[in-house]
Amino acid sequence: MLKDEVRTESYRDAMLKNRHIFKDKIVLDIGCGSGILSMFAAQAGAKMVIGVEMSSIMDYTRKIVKANGFEDQIVLLHGKMEEVKLPVDKVDIIISEWMGYFLLYESMLDSVLWARDTYLKKDGLVFPDRAVMKVCAIEDGDYRKEKIDFWDNVYGFDMKCIKQTALLEPLVDTVENDAVITNQSELYNIDIRTVKVEELAFKKDFKIVFNRDDTCHAIVVHFDTIFDHGLDTKIKFGTGPDNEYTHWKQTVFYLNDIMRVTCGDTLTGTISSKPNAGNPRDLDITIDYEYNCKGTRVGGSQFYRLR
């Protein structure tokens, strides 16, 4: 993630280009990892930065913070956010790089929201303060043929039962922008300042418009991360096919139906997501979709598990 320049430089710019926001403030860094964001906050003028990390990387974080001369400014706590005891009652700013694949897969947003409700001052800030999930559709016949339709005929044998398993798991990979055959439509705009944990299990409508005659094989979800509330210099970075590469890539959901589509027509539906009952780290995702072309309806409901 440190080599992900889009991610790291966006956080750096959000802090260093808004130094007046951080001057003499108390900052909480949730999931501080190597300490890079904590050190940016210290550089921006924070009076105290509290870095919380539950993994064993904390052994290195302490050395990194000391090696860079921030040991008097940055307090490091090893443990789970919900279990550690902060040295202060309230903080002015919360920073965290909590986003996961499909934005919410294995993310730390639950912990960020808990800390927001427990420790953030009434007029405090959250970095980032907004995330927007987006959806589009792609033509991707070569990959589908190689990885999914392969099971239709394996050396002359019918193995379609495995094909259904292959369709069950979304693909996290880089989508070429020229494969995109629709506009990019907003799916879910999440305000990190106010959203509740229970709202992270969602069902949202989408409507996307095809921009050329082609074949539709899959729906793609990606997201934008935004730092803007109360800031003079606003920062945003995207993780879509038309954006610079990030380690989040995009999440691709291959459809049962292969649809010949016409420029100007629409694909509509809903995308719902909730934690898996048996393993809350996993996400159960359902996509309902419908395409009408010249009186012919194509569509259905498809279940996926992101794990």
Task: Give the SS3 label for residue 143.
Answer: helix
Q: Would you give the DSSP letter of residue 178?
A: G
5 tagged catalytic: no
| Alpha-carbon distances, residue 248 vs 142, 171, 221, 234 (angstroms) | 22, 12, 11, 22
The order of strands in the sheet holding 120-127 is: 74-78, 48-53, 26-30, 91-96, 120-127
Q: What is the CA radius of gyration of the chain?
A: 22
Given 82, 106, 139, 146, the catalytic residue: 106
Q: Is 176 a catalytic residue?
A: no
Structure tokens at 147: 């990885």
**Is residue 234 classed as helix, strand or coil in its secondary structure?**
coil
Hey, what amino acid is at 271? I
Residues in the chain: 307
Pairing assessment for the beta strands 26-30 and 91-96 based on DSSP bridges: parallel
Q: Which of 5, 97, 176, 198 is catalytic?
A: 97
Q: Are 59 and 80 in contact (CB under 8 A)?
A: no
Q: Measured between alpha carbons, how far is 120 from 93 in angstroms, rounded to an integer?
A: 7
What is the Cα–Cα distance from 15 to 97, expressed in whole angstroms? 13
**Spatial distance between the Cα atoms of 269 and 142, rounded to a whole number of angstroms:** 25
* Distance from chain centroid for Cα 224: 8
What residues are labeled active site? 97, 106
